[in-house]
Structure 1
Amino acid sequence: MQVIPVLDLLDGHVVHAVRGERSRYRPIRSSLCATSEPVAVARALLRATGAPTLYVADLGAILERGAHVDALAALCDALGQGVSIWLDAGFSDFASVRALFGACGAGASLVPVFGTESLRDAGAIADAAAAGYEPVLSLDYHGGRALGSLHGDSACWPMRVIVMTLDQVGARAGPDLDTFAAVREMAGERLLFGAGGVRDRSDLARASRAGAHGWLVGSAVHELALGVSALA
């Protein structure tokens, strides 16, 4: 099972995301590095996990306060083509993907993540696929409810789907495997990724047994809680 490290951007810093309560997010304090500067944190996450993929949530864009264009461009330039960046920047349609990706320029391979919290045009997924982007869909949940649409319409889902339970993010409460199992019943042959709640190697093992192809992990990586063997 893949461990995909997570980087949350807000106000120019990498922040510690907790339970989706974004007004309370503060710059990250990590055991991996002594800064919240995005490129330094990204390099530390990739070095610690050995992962070829980095998930980036541009919370400024998601909150409609402005995308971190310069920081994203710097990440692309610094990480290079060997790294795939899954980017959730509050994309509402395919036009917003093209605009931001064009501004970020060349460098790392960018993959659009369409979060149901923000997506307004379901056709954007097919448009992105037709343009060769291999998009990812994030089925977002918060406060016990599904955010946005598409949760019950698996015909629109791409090959890779994230089950994102925001309440579990940074909460040290374990992964939400009940919601994951419900989505698994609808997913068919798609590759499912979970997000939030992983505390240690035993949580990774439980997620793997539940059928997860991978899991997005932030806090546990920064806290050195997974161990080398779990990340190999």
Structure 2
Amino acid sequence: MRCIFVMDIYNSKVVHAVRGERSRYRSINTFSRVVSTPDPIEIIEILAPKEVYVADLNRLSGSGDNLKTIERISSKAITMADIGISTLSDLSLLPEPTTPVLGTETASLDLISDASDLRDIVVSIDMKHRKVISHSGLLDPLELIKEMNDLDLLGIILLELDRVGTSAGVDIEFLSSAVASSDHPVLVGGGVRGLSDVHALEEIGVHGVLVATAVHSRAMPIEMIQL
């Protein structure tokens, strides 16, 4: 099971994300029990994760970017990044070897299809209250997963924003249906409490988990993100 360490970066600092409510995010060092700095490069050097998922909150909110920081991170760990890609030209903002994450919050379905023909990408199905956040309206996630089966993707992230940072647990019944619907590797983000959730997800065929809160609260051993 891949345990991918998440860093939400705003103004060059890692913040603690809760329920996708970006206005309420606070510096990670005010919450974390494993690091005392919000500096993303220092955190990478302290925790030494094998894989990292970065969300550039400045780009996602239209207020600058953290692209240089993401480039430095990608030299130290396998990196995928959501920078709010909304056009094909945005793909070039993330040079190799960083994998672009195209989230449904900012990328249209047509863009996802076109981008998958040009570059290896991961798609993030961004959800709140089990509905997909999309310019196309509120979509059913299972139907969207099936629509993407014909695309050439590295994987699909099921990101439940209303569970992010809450340690609320995961919905095994829903995620079992999602795995059964997908021809791509499925990654899960939001609500992962610790090892028990990781093992349960592995049993239903989930390929990997995105974790941050469980690591910072010591609910999950740091070694899990280093494997």
Asked if Structure 1 and Structure 2 have the same fold, meaning a TM-score greater than 0.5 normalized by the shorter chain, the answer is yes
- For each residue in 1:65-122, what CA deviation from the matched residue of structure 2 results, as whole angstroms up to 9, or x when unmatched? 1221332233245x1xxx2210001101221111x225xxx7xx20000000110362
Q: What TM-score results when the alignment is normalised by the length of structure 1?
A: 0.83
Worse overlay, 135-144 or 176-185: 176-185
Question: Are 1:122 and 2:122 counterparts?
Answer: no
Q: Out of 124, 137, 146, which is 1:138 matched to?
A: 124
**How big is the shift at 1:134?**
1.6
Question: Are 1:26 and 2:21 counterparts?
Answer: no
Determine if contact 1:129/1:135 at 8 Å carries over to the other structure: no
| Structure 2: unaligned runs, 5 residues or longer | none
| Gap change, CA 1:121 and 1:65, over 3 Å in 2 | farther
Match of 1:55, as an amino acid? Y
**How big is the shift at 1:209?**
1.3
Determine if contact 2:55/2:81 at 8 Å carries over to the other structure: yes
Determine if contact 1:168/1:197 at 8 Å carries over to the other structure: yes
| Gap change, CA 1:229 and 1:38, over 3 Å in 2 | closer
Alignment partners' CA distance in 1, 2:176 and 2:169: 15
Aligned pairs for 1:51-200 within 5 A: 51-77=49-75, 79=76, 83-98=77-92, 100-101=93-94, 109-120=97-108, 122-130=110-118, 133-148=119-134, 151=141, 152=144, 153-154=147-148, 155-156=150-151, 158-188=153-183, 190-200=184-194
| Structure 1: unaligned runs, 5 residues or longer | none
Alignment partners' CA distance in 1, 2:113 and 2:78: 18
Match of 1:202, as an amino acid? S
Match of 2:105, as an amino acid? E
**How big is the shift at 1:33?**
1.9
Alignment partners' CA distance in 1, 2:224 and 2:37: 25
Alignment partners' CA distance in 1, 2:152 and 2:25: 30
Give the match's secondary structure for 1:183: helix
Q: Out of 41, 44, 47, which is 1:42 matched to?
A: 44
Alignment partners' CA distance in 2, 1:230 and 1:75: 19
Match of 1:138, as an amino acid? S
**Between the two proteins, what is the percent identity of the paired residues?**
30
Match of 2:6, as an amino acid? V
| Gap change, CA 1:159 and 1:73, over 3 Å in 2 | closer
- For each residue in 1:132-173, what CA deviation from the matched residue of structure 2 results, as whole angstroms up to 9, or x when unmatched? x42101111013321115842223462411111111111110
Match of 1:171, as an amino acid? T
Alignment partners' CA distance in 2, 1:157 and 1:176: 27
| Gap change, CA 1:206 and 1:101, over 3 Å in 2 | same
Q: Which residue of the partner structure matches residue 6 of structure 1?
A: 6
Give the match's secondary structure for 1:19: coil
Structure of higher RCO (CA pairs closer than 8 Å, 6+ residues apart): 2
Corresponding residue pairs, total? 215
